[in-house]
A and B are shown apart, each in its own frame.
Chain A
Amino acid sequence: MTGHSSGRLSPPGALLEVANVAVHFSGLVAIADLNFRVPEGRILSLIGPNGAGKTTAFNVITGFLKPTAGHVLYRGHDLTRLAADKIAGLGVVRTFQRTSIFGGCTVFENVLIGSHLRGRTETWRALLRSARVDAEEQALAGHAREILDFVGLGARSGELAGNLAYGEQRRLGIAIALAADPKLLLLDEPAAGLNPSETEEFMRTVGRIRERGVTILLVEHDMRLVMSISDTVVVLNNGVIIAEGPPEAVQRDPEVIRAYLGQGYKRAAG
C-alpha cells in the first residue's frame, strides 16, 4: 500500500481536502470513507473500476450531491454546505462524463454562458443597457474568443454547438469550464470516446491548462493518459482508497494490480 498515511501526501499547499466522506444511497454504499488531498498546482487522478465511486466523489465535491457524512474543504470553505453554483463561484469547476454543452446555442454563446461569473449585469442594468453593460459585453466576448482559441475552436465560434463533431463537443465542454475561471478543475473522463490522436492533443491541452495555474483533479480510464500526466494517482475500489502515490509507485502496487489492472493483465495473458 503506497500511502494511506496522509502525512506524505499533505504538502502545506493542499487546495482541496476530502475528509471522511461517505455516500450511501438507501443502504447501498457508494463511498465508504474517502480521504485525499489535492495539492495546489498539481494534477491528481482518481482511478478505479466502474462503480468505484469516482463520479460520486466528483458530485460531492462540486455540490451536486450531499454526502451522508464527511466534509470537503477548499481554502477554508466547507463545500458540502454550499450549492453547486456557489462552489463554482469559489473557483471549483467541473466537466461532465457525458458530453455536456448548450446544444441550441452557438459555440461562442456556450463560452459566454461559461463566463457568467465574470459579468455583473443584472436585470435593471440589462434593461437600461448603459455604456458599462456594453463594455462588459465586449470584455466577456474577448475572454470567450481567447478561450476558444486556447482549445482550438476559434474557427467554429459561429457554429451551433449541437452540430459539432464529438471530439469538438468534448473540447467545448472544457472551454465552458475554463471560461468560469477555475482554480481547481475537475475533469470527468475527458478522453472518453476520443481517438488516439485526439487523446494526444487533449493531453497537451491539460498540460497547458496546468500552466495557467489551474489545479486539476482527473477521473479517467485511459491509463496511458493518467500515468503520463498525473503527479499523484488515487486508486478507488468499492468506495475505498486502496492506493495513492506517484504513478510509478501505484503501477507497481500489488493491490492495485490485483483489484484493477490485474484483470487486464489476466486478459492479456489468457
Chain B
Amino acid sequence: MSARIYPWLFVAFLASVPLWIGNQYFLYILTSAGIFIIAAISLNLLLGFTGQLSLGHVAFFGIGAYVAALSTLGFDLEFGSARFVFPRQPVWVGFFAAILVAGGFGLLIGKLAFRVRGAYFVIVTISFAQVMRMIALNWVDLTEGPMALNNIPPLSLWIPGEGVVGFFKKEYNYYLVLVLAVLSYLLVQRIVRSRVGRAMIALRENEPLALSVGVDVTRYLVVATVVSAGMAGMAGALYTHYIRIVDPDVFLFIYTVTMVIMVVTGGKGTLAGPVVGGFIFGALPELLREVASPEVQWILYGIAMIAIVFFLPQGIVPALAARFAARRGPGAKPEPEARAP
C-alpha cells in the first residue's frame, strides 16, 4: 500500500468522528484545535521552510478575526463632520476579506522585513502584533475596545435540500474546519514541494549560497509571508464565527507562543509537524481540564513540552520518520519533507 494513503485514512477517520462521538464537548475541543492547527500550518510555512521566526504571527490571526467580525456586523466611523458607514456584509464576504486583509498586512511585513533577518525579523513581527493589540484596545469607535464585538453571526452555507443553513451546530463547524485544514495542508504541500518551496528552503539553509545561484530570496520570503498571513487570517475568521465574540485578547502573545510550540514540537519544516503538534497542544489543555485542577494542568502541559523538546529536539514527526526509516532498513530514506534542519 502506498504511504500516500495514510494521511487520507486519517482524514477519513476525522470525518467519521461526529458520527460516533457521544460527547459534543469533544467536538468543540477538536474544532478549536483544528482552527489552531490551520494557524500552526501557516506559521510553519514561515518558520519551518523559510526559517524566519515570526513571533507576531497572532497579529494576522487577530486581523482576520476582526475583519471578519467588523464586515459582518458593519460599523460606522466619524471623522470630524464626515461620517463613514460600512454596511453589514454577508458572512462569506467578511471571510474572504479577512484572508485578503491579513495577506495584505503580510505583504507589508514581508516588504518591511526586506533586509531584516533572524532576531530583527522577530522584533519586527512582535512589535507589529503589539501595535495591532493597541489598536484593537484603543480604537473603541471601531472595535469596541475591551468591551469586545458581540453577536457575530456564524458562517452559513446553502445546502441542497435544506436552503441556507447557519453553522450553529457543532458538526457543521467541525466539518468546515476539517475541510479548510485539509486545504491549507495541501496548499502548503504544493508550495514547498515546488521550485518556490525549494527557494524558501534555500533561504533557511544558506542565504548567501542561495543568492549566489540566483535565488531572489527576498521575493520568496514575501510570498511565504503573504500566504502564511492570509492563511492565519482565515483561521482568525473561522475563530470569530465559531466563538462569535472577539476582543483584543485575540492578539495576546501567548497565542503566538502556542502556535510556535505546536510547530516546534511537531517538527518544524515537516508538513505533518504542525498537525501533530496542534492536536497535542490544542487538545491537551482541554482534555486535562477534565481530570486535573488548573495548576496541575499547566504543570503537565509544561512537562510535556519540555519532555518533547528534550528527547525529540527535531520534533515528533522527524523522530518518527527516522525510526520508520531505520526499521525499513539502512537503505531507506525518510520522506523528503520529514526532515528538519
Contact = CB atoms under 8 A, between A and B. Distances in A.
A85 B217 contact: yes
B108 interface: no
Contact of B215 (A85, A100, A123, A177): A85
Interface in A66-120: 83-86, 88-89, 93-96, 100-106, 109, 112-114, 116-117, 119
B212 interface: yes
A113 B215 contact: yes
A126 B201 contact: no
A136 B336 CA distance: 19
Interface in A151-203: 158, 160, 176-177, 179-180
Given A96-B209, A113-B201, A180 B333 contact: no
A221 B327 CA distance: 46
A237 interface: no
A100 B208 contact: yes
Contacts of B195: 116, 119, 121, 126, 136-137, 140
Contacts of B198: 109, 112-113, 116
A105 B15 CA distance: 35
Given A121-B196, A127-B190, A104 B341 contact: yes
A215 interface: no
Contact of A100 (B204, B209, B223): B209
A185 to B, nearest CB: 11
A62 interface: yes
B141 interface: no
A150 to B, nearest CB: 16
A116 B339 CA distance: 21
B216 interface: yes
Contacts of A258: none
Interface centre among B217, B227, B336 (most CB of A within 10 A): B336
Interface string B328-341: 00000100100111
A94 B214 CA distance: 11
Contacts of A140: 195
B210 interface: yes
Interface in A15-38: none
B197 A102 contact: no
A139 to B, nearest CB: 11
Given A85-B216, A126-B191, A126-B194, A104 B211 contact: no
Interface centre among B195, B198, B216, B340 (most CB of A within 10 A): B195
Contact of A103 (B206, B208, B333): B206
Given A121-B195, A122-B196, A126-B197, A102 B206 contact: yes
Interface residues of A, number: 43
Contacts of B214: 85-86, 88-89, 93, 116-117, 180
Given A126-B190, A126-B195, A160-B339, A102 B213 contact: no
B205 A104 contact: yes
Contacts of B194: 121, 126, 129, 133, 137
Nearest to A63: B211
Interface residues of B, number: 32
B212 A84 contact: yes
A127 B190 CA distance: 6
A105 B333 contact: no
Contacts of A109: 198, 201, 336
Contacts of A260: none
Contacts of B38: none
Contact of A104 (B190, B197, B340): B340
A102 B333 CA distance: 18
A190 to B, nearest CB: 14
B233 to A, nearest CB: 17
B217 A158 contact: no
Contact of A180 (B190, B199, B213): B213
B51 to A, nearest CB: 10
B205 A103 contact: yes
B190 A113 contact: no
Interface centre among B201, B206, B223 (most CB of A within 10 A): B206
B127 to A, nearest CB: 27
Interface string B172-201: 000000000000000100110011111101
Nearest to B209: A100
B202 interface: yes
A30 B87 CA distance: 64
Interface string A43-63: 000000000000000000011
A101 B341 contact: no
Contacts of B197: 126
Contact of A123 (B210, B227, B269, B336): B227
Contacts of A160: 339
A177 B212 CA distance: 8
Contacts of A126: 190-191, 194-197
Given A102-B205, A180-B214, 7 more contacts: A89-B214, A104-B339, A106-B336, A112-B198, A113-B198, A116-B214, A123-B191
Interface of B: 187, 190-191, 194-199, 201-202, 204-206, 208-217, 223, 227, 269, 333, 336, 339-341
12 contacts: A85-B216, A88-B212, A96-B208, A102-B209, A103-B206, A104-B201, A113-B210, A114-B213, A117-B213, A127-B187, A140-B195, A176-B213
